[in-house]
């Protein structure tokens, strides 16, 4: 049996179905940028999940063809350093498909049917009775994505929780069936409740590329301002003097996600912190537009350096492809190594198994 030394390895990624938005940023991307400088991590793999995106975009590969680059530009813009992380393309690592195929035998249809994220996504996409089989199986494929790299830490948004749970179930099943080869992974959720599942500008439950309610990391300053000005707040807060409500008020959820005390000192010194502003808003006496303009200043401060870095990389596309090539090569090297370990544990490595061959020879041609 092969035992692999447990290292701290990050695996996470995004579907190339559109540019990345501030929900991605607070849900996972910001954390990756921090962790790339943490020396306790041995390796960081960031996957552009094009094969997963095909599961519900099979008829539109062009969308993915364009967005692999866009997502990579967003990564570099957000501050991911290609010297510290491996950015790679999922479909270019065929070992992922092989591992997913073996994993399919270690879980059940009903287990995937109970997955709450998959349930919501099936509804959102109106699949009803025509769920593509590949889409249905994507949580299993995601388990392969994590384990092929021996990922031990997975920084993601809250919607990914059921996927990590399934991954760990499959890992336990694999290890108890074939031997201790794979490691369980730990989900790393954002530490701020508002960032777990950032709502859309329309106040809907989740900012999502597919729902058109996003502020993109690459939106120009004037677009960001326009989107913030038309954001959903509190429909009962009609006059400035009316008491306002915070629950479901997207502006305040964004403030929870992005605002720090120093922003008040800089942009709105009338208050010391968010709690004071919230208290005043709920008592009544503050207009929504003032809060939106404050939020806008905070967002622009955060987004400006991201836009600048993006602009630089947009002028260096061949280098961006070199980064992808290098990251994918590193991912393949790791993938080939793990799949060999997996095959050996499953005892399906017949061609390399000299002991098996010798025993079989002896069965038919006893040497003594
Ligand atoms: P799609 O609509 O194509 O599924 P998406 O916007 O949901 O796209 P994904 O690529 O599925 O984005 O998600 C990538 C990562 O970003 C995941 O870790 C997910 O948890 C996180 N994430 C996505 N949207 C949000 C959000 N609104 N708030 C917090 N995290 C998010
Ligand atoms: Mg999604």
Largest CA distance in the chain: 99
Report the pLDDT value the prediction gives residue 202, as an integer from 0 to 100: 93
Q: How far apart are CA 87 and CA 331, in angstroms?
A: 8
Which of the four pLDDT bands, split at 50, 70 and 90, describes residue 289? very high
Whether 17 lines ligand 1, by a CB cut-off of 6 Å, is yes
CATH 1.10.240.10 domain extents, the chain: 221-312
Q: Is CATH 1.10.240.10 the classification given to domain 221-312?
A: yes
pLDDT averaged over every residue in the chain: 95
Q: Does the reported pTM lie above 0.85?
A: yes
Instruction: Give distance in angstroms: CA of 313 to centre of ligand 2.
Output: 25
261 and 269 Cβ atoms separated by less than 8 Å:
no
pLDDT of residue 182: 97
Output Rg (C-alpha) for the chain, integer angstroms. Answer: 24
What is the C-alpha end-to-end distance of the chain, expressed in Å?
Answer: 29
Helix (H, G, I), strand (E, B) or coil at 187: strand
pLDDT at 205: 80
In the chain, ranges of CATH 3.40.50.620 domains: 9-197+316-360
The CB of 213 under 6 Å from ligand 1? The reply is: no
Ligand 1 pocket test: which of 157, 188, 189, 256 has the largest number of ligand atoms within 8 Å of its C-beta? Answer: 157
**Does residue 2 register a pLDDT over 70?**
no
The pLDDT confidence band at residue 367, using thresholds 50, 70 and 90, is low
The pLDDT tens digits for 244-270 are: 999 999 999 999 999 999 999 999 999
CATH 3.40.50.620 for domain 9-197+316-360: yes
HSE at residue 22, side-chain half, CA atoms within 13 A, is 26
Residue nearest to atom 20 of ligand 1 (CA): 157
Please state, in angstroms and as integers, the Cα–Cα distance from residue 309 to each residue in 37, 225, 261, 313, following that order: 18, 20, 26, 6
pLDDT tens-digit series, residues 70-116: 999 999 999 999 999 999 999 999 999 999 999 999 999 999 999 99
Containing H/E element for 324? helix 317-346
Which among 24, 195, 212 is the best mutation to test ligand 1's pocket, defined by most ligand atoms within 8 Å of the CB?
Answer: 24
User: Which residue, among 47, 9, 100, 32, has the nearest Cα to 332 in the 3D structure?
Assistant: 47
């Amino acid at each position: 049996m092969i035992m692999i030394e447990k290292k701290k390895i990050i695996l996470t990624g995004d579907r190339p179905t559109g540019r990345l938005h501030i929900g991605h940023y607070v849900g996972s991307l910001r954390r990756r940028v921090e962790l790339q400088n943490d020396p306790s991590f041995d390796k960081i793999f960031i996957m552009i999940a094009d094969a997963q995106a095909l599961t519900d975009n099979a008829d539109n590969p062009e969308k993915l063809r364009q967005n692999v680059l866009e997502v990579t530009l967003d990564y570099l813009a957000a501050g991911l350093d290609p010297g510290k992380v491996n950015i790679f393309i999922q479909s270019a690592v065929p070992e992922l498909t092989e591992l997913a195929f073996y994993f399919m035998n270690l879980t059940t249809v009903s287990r995937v049917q109970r997955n709450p994220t998959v349930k919501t996504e099936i509804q959102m996409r109106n699949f009803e009775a025509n769920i593509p089989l590949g889409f249905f199986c994507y949580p299993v494929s995601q388990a392969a994505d994590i384990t092929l790299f021996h990922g031990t830490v997975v920084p993601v948004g809250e919607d990914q929780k059921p996927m990590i749970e399934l991954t760990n179930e499959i890992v336990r099943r694999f290890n108890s069936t074939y031997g201790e080869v794979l490691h369980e992974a730990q989900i790393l959720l954002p530490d701020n409740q508002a960032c777990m599942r950032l709502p859309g500008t329309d106040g809907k439950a989740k900012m999502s590329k597919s729902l058109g309610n996003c502020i993109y990391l690459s939106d120009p300053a004037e677009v960001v301002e326009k989107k913030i000005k038309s954001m959903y707040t509190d429909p009962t807060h009609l006059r400035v003097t009316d008491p306002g409500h915070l629950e479901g008020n997207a502006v305040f959820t964004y403030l929870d996600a992005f605002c720090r005390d120093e922003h008040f000192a800089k942009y709105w010194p009338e208050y010391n912190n968010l709690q004071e502003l919230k208290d005043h808003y709920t008592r009544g006496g503050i207009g929504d537009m003032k809060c939106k303009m404050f939020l806008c200043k905070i967002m622009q401060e955060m987004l400006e350096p991201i836009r600048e870095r993006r602009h630089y990389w947009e002028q260096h596309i061949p280098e961006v492809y070199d980064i992808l090539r290098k990251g994918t090569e590193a991912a393949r090297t790791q993938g080939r190594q793990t799949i060999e370990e997996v095959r050996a544990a499953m005892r399906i490595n017949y061609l390399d198994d000299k002991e098996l061959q010798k025993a079989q020879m002896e069965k038919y041609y006893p040497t003594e």
